[in-house]
Every structure is written in structure tokens, then in C-alpha cells.
């Protein structure tokens, strides 16, 4: 079992290096493509500078054309150097990736041979195989729950974004109202507020269900959304004055800030869920490397 753990550790290290090498190949590819574009642009500049246009003859007469072409050639040489350098780095990155890929394949083969040997010769390994199989079932169930939480998050975030759009529109109408709007302005303002409040009622309901999905995740909601009462609306519409207009505008801005804060809190939880998902995936992968071949 000790040898198995050592080989597995080597494999984990190699896989991590292989992933890093893959990212390095992508980075070097991007660098090469950028250098290639730059070289082609410098070459084009020289061709344009050497064209026998009227401007060419004028610059040639005053002696500036030769200096211009020389400058463009120097820039082309530098661009060519950078292109050759990027090409060399790309080839090195590809070679490193190929070598690591070979090493991973080799160590995986060694791991499978060792697992087969242990399965035949070590009775305790049989028990460990069964235990790990049950663990993986539990971890996969956790992944299902995490995915469900992600789905619930997306619904809530979409509703919050829609509510923010309506509040932003209501804020615009509220500003017009303070500048001398009338009955029509009030109606448009409250139409947008109603849309936002309908969405927020659904958000609050979905947040309660969402909390059930977050048993193992630290979270904190701090939504101080303030619904505008019917009495306040009536005063605003029928006794329209600058004081009620300012009061409503303040409430709208406060609600916008509250929703933006809630959205940020949910995004924070989303990042925690992503971390949890990565950790579960890693545990499953680690268990599979040593035991999966013998699942019943």
C-alpha cells in the first residue's frame, strides 16, 4: 500500500506539471501569433515606404526617404528577432509537453500494474476498494447538490439583474419627477417600481430555498430592500411635491445599492461553491487513480 501511495503521488505531480505545460504551450502560441502579426506589419511598412509614389519623390528630394526606410528596416529586424524567439520558445514548450505526456502515460501504467498486484495479493486492499467506492458515491451526490445550487444562483442573479434594470429606469423617471414631472411621470415611475418589487418578492422566496442548498457553505445575506407602501404612493401621486419626490428617489437609490450588495454576496458564495466543486473533483480523481479499476 505504501508503494501505491508513492506512485500515486508521483502521478499527481506529473499531471499538475502536464496541465501547467499545456497552459505554457497556449501562452507561447499566443506570443508567437502576436510576434508574427507584428513582423508582417513591419514588413508591410517597408513595402509601403519603398513604393514610388509622389510622396516618395518629395521625401527623396529632401533626404528623408532613406532615413524612413532605414528606420522601418530596423523595426523589421527587431520584429523578426522577436518572432524567431517566440517560435523557439513555442517549440520548447511543445517538446516539454510531449515529454510530460509520455511520463504520465508511463507512470499510469506502473500504477495499474501495482493495483493489479495488490488486488491479487493483499486482502486489505479489497476492503479499501469497497470503502472508496462508497466515498465516491457520496462525493458525486455532493456534486449534484452543488450543481443544483449553481442553478438556483443563476435564477436569483437573473432576477436581480432584471430588478436593477427596472429600478434604474424608475430612477430616471424619478429624476424627471423632481424636475417638474406630473401624473404621467408618476405612473411610469411606479410601473417600473412594481416590476422591480414583483421580482424582489420572488428573489426573497428563492433565497430561502437557496439556503437549503448551502448547508456546508458559509454565506451571509444582507438585503435591506425597502418596498414602497401604497399609502406613500398615494401621497406621491395625489399630493405631488418635492419632498415626496426626493423621498422616493432616495428609496430607489437605496434599493439599487441594496440589490448590488446582495448580488455581490451571491457572487462571493458562487466562488466558494466553485472552490468546493474543485476540491470534490480532486478527491474523486485521486480515489479513482488508485481504486476505480476494481469498482463492481
Question: What pLDDT, on a 0 to 100 scale, did the predictor assign at position 64?
Answer: 58
- Residues near 253 by beta carbon (within 8 Å), at least 6 away in sequence: 171
Task: Give me the residue label for grid cell 473533483.
Answer: 281
In the three-class reduction of DSSP (H, G, I as helix; E, B as strand; rest coil), residue 126 is classed as helix
For residue 273, which of 151, 129, 126 has the smallest C-alpha distance? 151
Question: What pLDDT, on a 0 to 100 scale, did the predictor assign at position 232?
Answer: 42
User: What Rg, from alpha-carbon coordinates, does the chain have?
Assistant: 33
Question: What pLDDT, on a 0 to 100 scale, did the predictor assign at position 27?
Answer: 95
Ramachandran assignment for 180, one of left (phi > 0), alpha (psi -120 to 50 degrees), beta (any other):
left
pLDDT in tens, the chain (296 residues): 567 778 877 888 888 899 999 999 999 999 999 999 999 988 887 777 666 554 555 555 545 556 666 777 888 888 999 999 999 999 999 999 999 999 999 988 888 888 777 777 777 777 777 788 788 888 888 888 888 888 888 888 888 888 888 777 777 656 655 545 555 566 666 677 777 777 777 777 777 777 766 665 555 555 554 544 443 443 343 334 444 555 566 777 787 888 888 888 888 888 888 888 888 888 888 788 777 654 44
Contact 166/193 with Cβ under 8 angstroms? yes
DSSP 227: P
Angle at 229 between CA 225 and CA 231, to 5 degrees: 160
Q: Which residues of 161-176 are buried (b: 16+ CB within 10 A; e: fewer)?
A: ebbbebbebbbebbeb
**Which element (helix H / strand E) includes 88?**
helix 65-121
Q: How far is CA 17 from the centre of its chain?
A: 23
Distances in Å between the Cα of 183 and the Cα atoms of 33, 34, 174, 233 are 61, 59, 12, 12
Question: What pLDDT, on a 0 to 100 scale, did the predictor assign at position 246?
Answer: 56
DSSP 113: H
Question: What pLDDT, on a 0 to 100 scale, did the predictor assign at position 129?
Answer: 77
Question: What pLDDT, on a 0 to 100 scale, did the predictor assign at position 215?
Answer: 61
Question: What pLDDT, on a 0 to 100 scale, did the predictor assign at position 161?
Answer: 86
DSSP 293: G
Does the pTM exceed 0.75? no
Question: What pLDDT, on a 0 to 100 scale, did the predictor assign at position 240?
Answer: 47
CA distance 251 to 248: 5
Question: What pLDDT, on a 0 to 100 scale, did the predictor assign at position 26?
Answer: 96
Question: What pLDDT, on a 0 to 100 scale, did the predictor assign at position 296?
Answer: 40
Amino acid at each position: 500500500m505504501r508503494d501505491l501511495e508513492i506512485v500515486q503521488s508521483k502521478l499527481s505531480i506529473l499531471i499538475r506539471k502536464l496541465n501547467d505545460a499545456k497552459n505554457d504551450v497556449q501562452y507561447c502560441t499566443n506570443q508567437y501569433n502576436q510576434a508574427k502579426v507584428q513582423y508582417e506589419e513591419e514588413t508591410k511598412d517597408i513595402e509601403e515606404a519603398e513604393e514610388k509614389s509622389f510622396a516618395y519623390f518629395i521625401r527623396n528630394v529632401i533626404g528623408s526617404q532613406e532615413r524612413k526606410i532605414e528606420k522601418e528596416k530596423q523595426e523589421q529586424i527587431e520584429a523578426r528577432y522577436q518572432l524567431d524567439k517566440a517560435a523557439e520558445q513555442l517549440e520548447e514548450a511543445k517538446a516539454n509537453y510531449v515529454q510530460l505526456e509520455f511520463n504520465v502515460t508511463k507512470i499510469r501504467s506502473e500504477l495499474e500494474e501495482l493495483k493489479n498486484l495488490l488486488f491479487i495479493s493483499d486482502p486489505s486492499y479489497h476492503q479499501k476498494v469497497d470503502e472508496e467506492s462508497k466515498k465516491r458515491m457520496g462525493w458525486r451526490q455532493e456534486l449534484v447538490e452543488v450543481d443544483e445550487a449553481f442553478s438556483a444562483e443563476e435564477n436569483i442573479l437573473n432576477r436581480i439583474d432584471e430588478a436593477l434594470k427596472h429600478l434604474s429606469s424608475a430612477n430616471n423617471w424619478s429624476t424627471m419627477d423632481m424636475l417638474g414631472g406630473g401624473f404621467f411621470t408618476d405612473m411610469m415611475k411606479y410601473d417600473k417600481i412594481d416590476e422591480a418589487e414583483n421580482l424582489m418578492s420572488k428573489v426573497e422566496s428563492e433565497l430561502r430555498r437557496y439556503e437549503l442548498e448551502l448547508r456546508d457553505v458559509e454565506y451571509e445575506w444582507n438585503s435591506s430592500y425597502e418596498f414602497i407602501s401604497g399609502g406613500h404612493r398615494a401621497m406621491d401621486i395625489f399630493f405631488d411635491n418635492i419632498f415626496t419626490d426626493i423621498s422616493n428617489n432616495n428609496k430607489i437609490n437605496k434599493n439599487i445599492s441594496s440589490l448590488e450588495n446582495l448580488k455581490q454576496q451571491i457572487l462571493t458564495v458562487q466562488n466558494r461553491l466553485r472552490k468546493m466543486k474543485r476540491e470534490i473533483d480532486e478527491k474523486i480523481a485521486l480515489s479513482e487513480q488508485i481504486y476505480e479499476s476494481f469498482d463492481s
